[in-house]
Amino acid sequence: MQTGSALTDIGRVIQLSVAPVFLITGISGLLSVLSSRLGRTIDRSRVLHALPDHEETRDDIHNELSVLSRRAKLIYRAMTLATTSALLICFVIVSLFISAFASFPIGAVIAVLFVAAVIALIAALVLFLREVFLATRALRIQPS
């Protein structure tokens, strides 16, 4: 009977870990968007650095590079927090499996890890939103 009980416990832990796995999938989508935006920011800064130095455009280029630098820093921090969130969720999943076979309760550890992961994800999303605001504020669309 012990084997059936262990199998049931494993099945229950796998069911509990499905929701965090979906959260990791969502975070991976966010990381993909962030890395794409970071790449575009870096590409644009390279283009600006390659432009010939003319006195009449120097200030405009410097201002745009300044905005691109701030955007890149925001994206980098958002990526760091999103990755931290995903890692914490991985620790939640590992803790769920450990708790199924350990004799000591680690429910509080799981709760703290999950709350920390959600806080890191919230912070990453806030930084992403700040970067989007910065990008749209600096956007200059000129009529044709």
Q: Quick check: is 116 in a domain? A: yes
pTM of the full structure: 0.84
Q: Quick check: is 126 in a domain? A: yes
| DSSP string for residues in the chain | -HHHHHHHHHHHHHHHHHHHHHHHHHHHHHHHHHHHHHHHHHHHHHHHHHS---HHHHHHHHHHHHHHHHHHHHHHHHHHHHHHHHHHHHHHHHHHHHHHH-SS--HHHHHHHHHHHHHHHHHHHHHHHHHHHHHHHH------
Q: Quick check: is 10 in a domain? A: yes
Residue numbers of the domain that contains 24: 2-137
Q: Quick check: is 63 in a domain? A: yes
Q: Quick check: is 144 in a domain? A: no
pLDDT, tens only, 6-24: 667 777 777 777 888 899 9
pLDDT, tens only, 60-95: 888 899 999 999 999 999 999 999 999 999 999 888
Q: Quick check: is 143 in a domain? A: no
Task: Please tell me the total count of domains within the chain.
Answer: 1
Q: Quick check: is 75 in a domain? A: yes
Q: Quick check: is 53 in a domain? A: yes
